[in-house]
Amino acid sequence: MIGRALLLLASLVALSARGDNPPQLVERYAAVAGQDDPAFTGFSAARGHDFYFDKHVLPGVGAVSCASCHLDDPRLPIRAHRAEVLCRACHVINETEHPDPEHAKKRHIQPFAPAANPERFRDFDKTERYFDVNCRMLLKRPCSALEKGDLIVWLLTLSAE
């Protein structure tokens, strides 16, 4: 009996050490979405796609969307200062405005889609931190569990190519 309990405990520790995976995050967001709205019936890749491309006006920047920083194809990596993406205005100073462009901080944004970046959506707490910062910046409010789940479900439909 004690041996089985220790084996179960070791299995749970091994699972927690591996971290989350995108489907597990979707399940967690589904539980919250169901609490938020008893009529919740599941996430929608189509809504996630629309959410990703929906424009929101930011004063001094213009109309922006998730795609403004993560590109129209979220499978692609971005090296800020080398691409015309609006996130440079929010995250780092533009090289041409930097007093020492050779030593300006270069920001790399890894692909948003899990198929192109297997590390994406592997840690619930990290995912929540990024959603919190980016949703507040873009939407001026926290994203709902429905929005987060829809977005992740859509990103999971994208293949690596």
Convert the pLDDT of each residue in 38-91 to its tens digit: 999 999 999 999 999 999 988 777 888 999 888 899 999 876 555 555 554 444
User: Per CATH, which fold does 20-78+110-156 belong to?
Assistant: Cytochrome Bc1 Complex; Chain D, domain 2 (1.10.760)
Question: What's the rounded Cα separation, in Å, for the pair 57 and 72?
Answer: 18
Note the pTM of the prediction, 2 decimals: 0.76
Question: What's the rounded Cα separation, in Å, for the pair 112 and 110?
Answer: 6
Question: What's the rounded Cα separation, in Å, for the pair 158 and 160?
Answer: 7
pLDDT band at 109 (very low <50, low <70, confident <90, very high): confident
Within 13 Å and on the Cβ side, how many CA atoms surround 141?
6
Question: What's the rounded Cα separation, in Å, for the pair 27 and 152?
Answer: 11
Query: Which pLDDT score, from 0 to 100, does residue 118 have?
Result: 93
